[in-house]
Amino acid sequence: MDGIAGKKPGLVWAVHISVFLLVLLWLFPTVGLLISSFRTADQISNSGWWRSMFHTEQNFTLRTAPPSEQVHDGGLYVIEGNLFGEGKDAEISVWGISSREISAFQPGDTAELRRGGEITVQSNGDYRLTNFEAFSGSRGPRVFATAKTPPEFTMANYVTVLTGGSSDGGMAKAFFNTLTVAIPATIIPILVAAFAAYALAWMEFPGRALLIAAVVGLLVVPLQLALIPLLKLHNGIGIGKGYLGIWLAHTGFGLPLAIYLLRNYMVGLPKDIIENCKVDGATDFQIFTKIVLPLSFPALASFAIFQFLWTWNDLLVAKVFLIDATGETTVMTNHIVELLGTRGGNWEILATAAFVSIAVPLVVFFAMQRYLVRGLLAGSVK
Amino acid sequence: MHPALQGLLTIIIGVGGCVGYFYFSNQFLDKVLFPARGPNAGSNISRANMIRPWLFLGPAIIALGLYLAYPVFETIRLSLTERVRDDYAWVGLENYSRMLGEPKFWEALKNNMLWLIIVPAASTAFGLLAAQLTDRIGWGNAAKSLIFMPMAISFVGASVIWKLVYDTRPVEQQQIGILNWIWLKFEGGFWSVIFLQIVPAIILLAFAALIAYACYNFAKPLWNNRRTGPGRIMPVRVLVAVGGIWLVFLSLESLLSLFTDELVFGKPQTWLTVPLWNSFFLMIVLIWIQTGFAMVILSAALRGIPEETVEAAIVDGANPFQIFFKIKVPQIMGTIVVVWTTITLVVLKVFDIVFAMTNGQWETQVLANYMFDKLFRANDWGVGSASAMVIMLLVTPILVWNVYSARKEMK
């Protein structure tokens, strides 16, 4: 194939460009959310995230300093300052003092306020309010400005989401809850499955083929079927909703894949080693712990990654077996769904919360991609 | 006790308990029950070896039985009963008939069928395309890992990501969803016709042609007397042919509506509330996630193709497209089927995406979400279990096929 492509440089370029476009298309949505999580609420709602890298022209609704800061200067009451606050590099192109005419004035123009007095706004946002009588009220007048602002990013959203209460995000608690669910639910099935997989791979006993077939069959049973009967069972034996219940449930649901993956791997281990050990008088238990388990590390790692991603990302099992009416044990996925309902328009909270929950799986994914791919191949290619 | 501490304790107890169980039960078997000493040493060893597999398998069998096998039968029972206070009364098939009478159920079933056709097909097709393209360039592995990345993202996270893409603002404000921003660029002029009518029309036509061609090939043995496969798969051929004709019909119909429908230009659309289209917008999320999976598997399969077959085709003067469709694809057909069925299983259980994005409103209901609604909102365990059984029924052919091919392989 390379030979042909080499003869036609046009085709090679076409391949490069189409792969580039495909990758771009696939990354685009995620990048959008990532960038949004570093922008302020105002920025998000004023311009699309794809324009955040450039100087953007936005409409701002700003206020001058309140009348409490006015100074008396030679018969005039004056309020001075910068509309954008200090240290922001913005350039106003037009401005106005009414929401109906936001582009009535040029920078440097002077406008008469309805409540009396005059305001002058410079292109960098400096303003000067003057009046013969004292300004009254608690807030300064509004100024509508269309300005070019440089790209600006902030970590404030992450601080809010991680430290705030549950209405602001409250992701810290949900994060630890998710971790509490995921780690035991990953480790316990591995151990149980490894022993079973060894028996199915290297021990002779009647009914072995039937058991393997059963595992393959259970591999595809939708866990939807298990929800009600198991909830009933858990309530019946007094576990109720809680961590123990969800650990057990994840263990049960993860076992078929674990046994299937590990058995397929163990069957492929060299027969000589195991038979030599048997001849030397090793028991099955010793062979398993000293020979088979260390050799199966790649398969164990593959399954561990699968199970970790699955338990971390799960919503349904957590909703049914863990989260009770108090909501104390909420996990991140559930919390994000609730935020979608209550704060659907607050993208700065949503985007940040989503990224807090996505971060750990992404790290695991990029660090251990090799094992993940190997597991996928062992699990589905026959 | 703090849950994290409780978790740590559970790991220690769980792992320690498991190791302890396996170690001591083996010790007990070898040292106490059937010691390899004394007059019966020989028979004791063989007896111990007969029991040992069950010691190894014990916990797994109990967990599998209790958490997967028992619920299947319990769900069947629940779907035939009704909860009367704390008791269960036998009602026969009444739950099923009640479910069949609900329009929401039919909506869910219809949507599920659409999902079942489109998501596996699109994911596999994109995956195959990505696999074939990335295998031929230097930075292919980096590209692959980026396309594969959505696999690590939860369905809920993906829903948030795509909700931003589909976001809608009132017309006088700046659009922050990229889809609406692009939409507003169209104004009914030349480019709008190209991108909104000509290009989709070409894609639809190509799709219809591809389906028709595949079905023709698949159904050919029906009228050719030359039987190529076992007679048992004849009904499957008929089924596939009928499904294919329906798909071709559907795509031609939408082709027609493409040119007859008035498009509303210049107005931001709330994409997730437009019936039928919104289902497609939800499907895109799952396709986006599953393409990476299909790509990884298919790329490994493509690499496994013997070089000689490709070289022979090159010598015979085949062009790259012929090599791909006539040499490579037929050789990885088995893997394509595996990928297809695996994605089908994911689709059947799809819940999180619909739950997070629309919760089944605006005619986007699917079976898994319908079931969740019934079980935990309406608290109707009978109908909920009945709809779970429908999902099970849809999974069963794949289950049977998997068990069948696994057994064939073992022999």
CA angle A171, A174, A176 (to 5 degrees): 110
For A375, nearest residue in chain B (alpha carbons): B297
Q: Return the closest-CA partner of residue B175 out of A41, A94, A50.
A: A50
Choose among A58, A251, A315: nearest Cβ to B63.
Answer: A251
User: Would you identify the CATH topology of the domain B80-174+271-411?
Assistant: MetI-like fold (1.10.3720)
Residue that wins the pLDDT comparison between B153 and A329 = B153
- Write out the H or E segment, with its range, that includes residue B81: strand B81-84
Chain A residues within an 8 Å CB radius of B3:
176-177, 180, 243, 329
Mean of pLDDT values over B359-372: 84
The answer to whether B410 contacts A212, with C-beta atoms less than 8 Å apart, is yes
Q: At what angle do helices B333-348 and B381-410 cross, to 10 degrees?
A: 160
Residue type, A365: F
The answer to whether B56 contacts A196, with C-beta atoms less than 8 Å apart, is yes
Chain B residues within an 8 Å CB radius of A214:
64, 69
Chain A residues within an 8 Å CB radius of B313:
none
CA angle A260, A262, A263 (to 5 degrees): 65
pLDDT per residue over A227-283, tens digit each? 888 888 888 887 778 788 888 889 888 898 889 888 888 888 888 888 888 888 787
Q: Does the pLDDT value for residue B1 go beyond 70?
A: no
For B394, nearest residue in chain A (alpha carbons): A222
The answer to whether B164 contacts A33, with C-beta atoms less than 8 Å apart, is yes
Torsion, Cα A29 A33 A38 A43, to 10 degrees, reads: 90
Residue A352's alpha-carbon distances to A162, A180, A369, B225, B313, in angstroms, are: 9, 21, 25, 63, 52
The answer to whether B410 contacts A230, with C-beta atoms less than 8 Å apart, is no
Phi, psi of A359 (to 5 degrees): -55, -50
Q: Does the pLDDT value for residue A97 go beyond 60?
A: yes
A283: left (phi over 0), alpha (psi -120 to 50) or beta: beta
A 61-100 → B contacts, CB under 8 A:
none
Choose among B15, B293, B323: nearest Cβ to A188.
Answer: B15
Q: Are A121 and A140 spatial neighbours (Cβ–Cβ below 8 Å)?
A: no
Mean of pLDDT values over B162-179: 81
The answer to whether A228 contacts B75, with C-beta atoms less than 8 Å apart, is yes
Chain A residues within an 8 Å CB radius of B123:
none
Residue B54's alpha-carbon distances to A110, A252, B64, B292, B327, in angstroms, are: 91, 18, 14, 39, 48
Mean of pLDDT values over A287-298: 86
Mean of pLDDT values over A26-54: 80
pLDDT classification of A5: cutoffs 50, 70, 90: very low
Residue B221's alpha-carbon distances to B224, B225, B231, in angstroms, are: 5, 6, 10
pLDDT classification of A87: cutoffs 50, 70, 90: low
The answer to whether A195 contacts B59, with C-beta atoms less than 8 Å apart, is yes
Most confident of A88-97, B8-17, B138-147: B138-147
The answer to whether B160 contacts A351, with C-beta atoms less than 8 Å apart, is yes
Mutation choice for A interface testing from B116, B123, B160, B357 by most A CBs within 10 A? B160
pLDDT classification of A2: cutoffs 50, 70, 90: very low
Q: Are B329 and B127 spatial neighbours (Cβ–Cβ below 8 Å)?
A: no
**Can you say how many angstroms the Cα of residue B285 is from the centroid of all Cα atoms in its chain?**
13
For strand A126-131 and strand A142-149, is the pairing parallel, antiparallel, or unpaired?
Answer: unpaired
Phi, psi of B407 (to 5 degrees): -70, -40
Mean of pLDDT values over B100-114: 86
Mean of pLDDT values over B302-328: 84
A 287-316 → B contacts, CB under 8 A:
288, 309, 312-316
Burial B153-163 (b: 16+ CB within 10 A, else e): bbbbbbbbbbb
Chain B residues within an 8 Å CB radius of A357:
154, 156-157
The partner residues of A110 in beta bridges, in order of sequence, read A120
Mutation choice for A interface testing from B27, B28, B57 by most A CBs within 10 A? B57
Choose among A177, A221, A361: nearest Cβ to B152.
Answer: A361
pLDDT number for residue A382 = 39
Choose among B57, B78, B157: nearest Cβ to A354.
Answer: B157
The answer to whether A196 contacts B402, with C-beta atoms less than 8 Å apart, is no
Chain A residues within an 8 Å CB radius of B320:
1, 4-5, 11
**Can you say how many angstroms the Cα of residue A349 is from the centroid of all Cα atoms in its chain?**
11
Q: Are A98 and A104 spatial neighbours (Cβ–Cβ below 8 Å)?
A: yes
Residue type, B88: Y
Q: Are B382 and A359 spatial neighbours (Cβ–Cβ below 8 Å)?
A: no
Within an 8 Å CB–CB cutoff, is residue B268 touching chain A?
Answer: no
The answer to whether A15 contacts B356, with C-beta atoms less than 8 Å apart, is no
Radius of gyration of chain B (CA): 27
Within an 8 Å CB–CB cutoff, is residue B233 touching chain A?
Answer: no
pLDDT per residue over B183-207, tens digit each? 777 776 777 777 777 887 888 888 8
Q: Mean pLDDT of all residues in chain B?
A: 81
Q: Does the pLDDT value for residue B392 go beyond 60?
A: yes
Choose among B60, B342, B405: nearest Cβ to A192.
Answer: B60
The answer to whether A312 contacts B154, with C-beta atoms less than 8 Å apart, is yes
Mutation choice for B interface testing from A49, A220, A368 by most B CBs within 10 A? A220
Within an 8 Å CB–CB cutoff, is residue B10 touching chain A?
Answer: yes
Chain B residues within an 8 Å CB radius of A235:
none
pLDDT classification of B85: cutoffs 50, 70, 90: low
The answer to whether A217 contacts B403, with C-beta atoms less than 8 Å apart, is yes
Structure token digits, residue B365 = 């209901």
For A329, nearest residue in chain B (alpha carbons): B3
Residue owning tokens 């290009």: B199
Within an 8 Å CB–CB cutoff, is residue B220 touching chain A?
Answer: no
Q: Are B350 and B366 spatial neighbours (Cβ–Cβ below 8 Å)?
A: yes
Within an 8 Å CB–CB cutoff, is residue A29 touching chain B?
Answer: yes
Q: Are B351 and B365 spatial neighbours (Cβ–Cβ below 8 Å)?
A: no
Radius of gyration of chain A (CA): 32
Lowest mean pLDDT among A111-115, A164-168, B393-397: A164-168
- Write out the H or E segment, with its range, that includes residue B82: strand B81-84
The answer to whether B375 contacts A228, with C-beta atoms less than 8 Å apart, is yes
For A316, nearest residue in chain B (alpha carbons): B352
Alpha helices in B349-380 (DSSP H): 352-357, 367-372
pLDDT per residue over B284-314, tens digit each? 999 999 998 889 888 888 888 888 888 888 8
For chain B, domain boundaries: 3-68, 80-174+271-411, 185-265
pLDDT number for residue A169 = 56
pLDDT classification of B179: cutoffs 50, 70, 90: confident
pLDDT number for residue B288 = 92
What DSSP assignment string belongs to A205-217? -TTHHHHHHHHHH
Q: Does the pLDDT value for residue A69 go beyond 70?
A: yes
Torsion, Cα A328 A329 A331 A337, to 10 degrees, reads: -50
Q: Does the pLDDT value for residue A1 go beyond 50?
A: no
Within an 8 Å CB–CB cutoff, is residue A50 touching chain B?
Answer: yes
Residue B158 and residue A354: Cα distance in Å, rounded?
A: 9
Q: Rounded to a whole number, what is the largest CA-CA distance in chain B? A: 98
Within an 8 Å CB–CB cutoff, is residue B318 touching chain A?
Answer: no
Choose among B59, B69, B162: nearest Cβ to A192.
Answer: B59
Residue B261 and residue B24: Cα distance in Å, rounded?
A: 74
The answer to whether B174 contacts A329, with C-beta atoms less than 8 Å apart, is no
The answer to whether B297 contacts A216, with C-beta atoms less than 8 Å apart, is no
